[in-house]
Amino acid sequence: MVKKIVPVFLLAILTALCLTGGDAGPAEGGAEIPAGEKYVALTFDDGPRRCTTERLLDGLKERGARATFFLIGQQIEDNADLVARMAEEGHQVGNHTWSHQRLDSVLPDAAAQEVARTDAALEALLGEGEYWLRPPYGQVAEGADFDVPMVKWSVDPRDWESRDTGKVTQAILDCVKPNSILLLHDIYPTSVEAALRVVDRLQAEGYWFVTVEELLWLNGVTPEPGRMYRTGRG
C-alpha cells in the first residue's frame, strides 16, 4: 500500500543521505540502500496469477529485491493472500484498472469506474491509501483527470509477445540504465524467469531494485497526482 505521506522507511533513507553525506540509508526490513548507487524499478502488470506470481514473490524475497505490481481489479479477490503478501514484503501495489480496459477509448465515467472499482478492492484488502495507476497500454484520454501519480515505463522487452525467457532477459539488459522503469507481466512463466535472471545479473553489477515510489524519492522527485512518470527522474 502506498500512503499519501512519505513512508517512514523513505524518510529514513533521505535523512540518512543528508546526515551521512550519502553513505547509506536503511530500507524496510533492515536492508541498506547505499546513496549514489544504481537504482532500477521492476514493474509487473496484469496479475496476480497464482502459479506465476507466487513463484515471482518467492524469487524476489530470496534476492532481497522489491518491485511494483499493477493489479487487475477483478483478479484481486481470488488472490487476496498474494496481494497481502506483496504489501507485507515491501512491494508497491498499484491499480491497472478493473478489467484491463483502455482508458483512452471509453467515456470518462467508464474510465473513472474502472479505476475506482480496483481502488475499492485494494482498500478493502489493504486499507485506505493512494494506489498509483498504470493505465493499460500506458494511455489515458487527453484531459483525463486522475488524482494519483501514473506510471509508464522506459524499458519494454515485449515479453507478452515473444514469451521467450532468453530474448526477454537480453532485451532488458540491452536497454537498462540507472533509474529505468522496467515493464514485465507476472502472468507468464517466461517473464517471471526472465525477471529473476535480470535481478541476478544487475545485482551483480551493483544495481538496487526498489519500488517506483522509492525510485522517485531517491532522485528527489516528489510524486504529483495526475502526472505520468517514465523513469526515476520523472
* β-pair type (228-229, 67-71): unpaired
Size of the chain, expressed as the number of residues it contains: 234
Judge whether 91 counts as a catalytic residue: no
Report the largest interatomic distance among the alpha carbons of the chain, rounded to a whole angstrom: 51
Selecting among 91, 96, 159, 185, the annotated active-site residue is 185
CA–CA gap between residue 10 and residue 12 (Å, rounded)? 5
Judge whether 45 counts as a catalytic residue: yes
Q: What is the pLDDT of residue 37?
A: 83
CA–CA gap between residue 12 and residue 18 (Å, rounded)? 10
Beta-strand ranges (E) seen in the chain are 24-26, 32-34, 38-47, 67-71, 92-95, 150-151, 181-185, 207-209, 228-229
For residue 79, the number of C-alpha atoms closer than 13 Å in the C-beta half-sphere is 20
Distance of CA 24 to the CA centre of its chain: 23
Q: What is the pLDDT of residue 15?
A: 39
> In a structure prediction context, what are the per-residue pLDDT tens digits for the chain, which is 234 residues long?
333 333 434 444 443 443 333 444 434 443 556 666 899 999 999 999 999 999 999 999 999 999 999 999 999 999 999 999 999 999 999 999 999 999 999 999 999 999 999 999 999 999 999 999 999 999 999 888 899 999 999 999 999 999 999 999 999 999 999 999 999 999 999 999 999 999 999 999 999 999 999 999 999 999 999 999 999 999
Query: Could you give all domains of the chain from N- to C-terminal order, each with its CATH number?
Result: 39-229 (3.20.20.370)
Strand partners, 229: 151
